[in-house]
Amino acid sequence: MNFVIEKDFEKIFKLSPLGESVFSGTGVGEVGHLFGGYTLGFALQAASSTVDPQMWPQSLHANFIDSGKTAHELRFRVDVLRDSRAFALRQVTVTMGDLTPLLMQASFHAGESGTDWTPDEEFNYPDPESLESDETYLFAMDPIDIRPIQGLSKRGPGHRIPRVHPFWVRPRMTLPDDRMLHAAVVAFISDYMVVGNAQAPNVPVPEGSLVVTMEHALWFHRPVDANDWLLFVAEPLSTYHGRGVSSGKVFNRQGLLVASFMQEVLTRPPRVQA
């Protein structure tokens, strides 16, 4: 393959307007699997471009419906569900031909006065500079420097769904001062390898299993500087009937909770041939 490995988020999330509240974008690289976090970040960028830039990203709730592929055009239709002085709510429908890889609602808030509180939690993690960079599981792009707390992720036979969390991460290329782009980058990373932490602990996933993300939700609690190191921590919450749910938190370098997320994953073992 002769395609360039893209490391610049501004190019990765490049959108072209096609009309009122309709945008076009194409996943980098040749034909391959479209990473769900890529679609999340893309969709959030599309929604953000239709709201007052003084607003702050508040949350997103997404359903992954069909599988997407890179090197195919994606269409982003943004519908206005609410516009007020305090809040904006958008629905983004992402289509690829006859398929719908993503349906997402994103909300934005103007910000108000109120109590600034978060639970006191022990924050005792090694500095990212003391850790090794992991090879990423991304197709045709490598925009983030991932440094797992528990050592490099295991690959090869017997490691169908590697567990990477918790990890420090930051973009390889400096982002501009654009709060919406920083939020899109956090959305991108919030889907990274969460599938491994939506499995029952110490229960291996059989080779050949189908593992797909079904739903993803993300809340922004405080302003996020994605140029600095962020710590992503995801833990299994429940597994039943093939569905696993993981809950996650995002901390800044100072140990302050800046975002949280949840993801539901379907894990279907290979069918037994009769």
pLDDT at 139: 87
pLDDT at 148: 97
Question: Residue 249 pLDDT more than 90?
Answer: yes
Percentage above 70 pLDDT, the chain: 96
Question: Residue 73 pLDDT more than 70?
Answer: yes
Summarised one tens digit per residue, pLDDT across range 11-60 is 999 999 998 899 999 988 887 889 999 999 999 999 999 999 999 999 99
Interval 209-217 mean pLDDT: 94
CA angle 48, 50, 51 (to 5 degrees): 70
pLDDT at 224: 96
pLDDT at 47: 98
Question: Residue 2 pLDDT more than 80?
Answer: no
- 193 CB-near residues (< 8 Å, 6+ apart): 137, 153, 162, 163, 164, 165
pLDDT at 208: 81
Domain residue spans of the chain: 9-110+130-268
- 247 CB-near residues (< 8 Å, 6+ apart): 234, 235, 237, 260, 261, 262
Q: Which of these ranges, 24-28, 84-88, 172-176, 180-184, has the smallest mean pLDDT?
A: 24-28
Instruction: For the chain, give the mean pLDDT.
Output: 93
- Residue 159's pLDDT band, with cuts at 50, 70 and 90, is low
CA–CA distance, 118 with 258 (Å, rounded to integer): 10
Summarised one tens digit per residue, pLDDT across range 97-146 is 999 999 999 999 999 999 999 998 889 999 999 999 999 999 899 999 99
Question: Residue 155 pLDDT more than 90?
Answer: no
- Give the pTM: 0.95
- 20 CB-near residues (< 8 Å, 6+ apart): none
Question: Residue 154 pLDDT more than 90?
Answer: no
Interval 195-207 mean pLDDT: 87
Ordered DSSP codes for the chain: -----B--HHHHT--EEEETTEEEEE-SSSS-B--HHHHHHHHHHHHHTTS-TTSEEEEEEEEE-S--BTTSEEEEEEEEEEE-SSEEEEEEEEEETTEEEEEEEEEEE------------------GGGSPPBPP--SSB--EEEEETT-SPP-STT-SS----SEEEEESSPPPS-HHHHHHHHHHHHTTTGGGGGS-TT-PPPTT-EEEEEEEEEEE-S---TTS-EEEEEEEEEEETTEEEEEEEEE-TTS-EEEEEEEEEEEEPPPPP-
pLDDT at 250: 98
Out of 2.40.160.210, 2.160.20.10, 2.40.400.10, 2.40.30.210, the CATH code matching 9-110+130-268 is 2.40.160.210
pLDDT at 31: 78
CA–CA distance, 189 with 41 (Å, rounded to integer): 9
Beta-ladder partners of 216: 62, 263
Interval 240-256 mean pLDDT: 96
Percentage above 90 pLDDT, the chain: 81
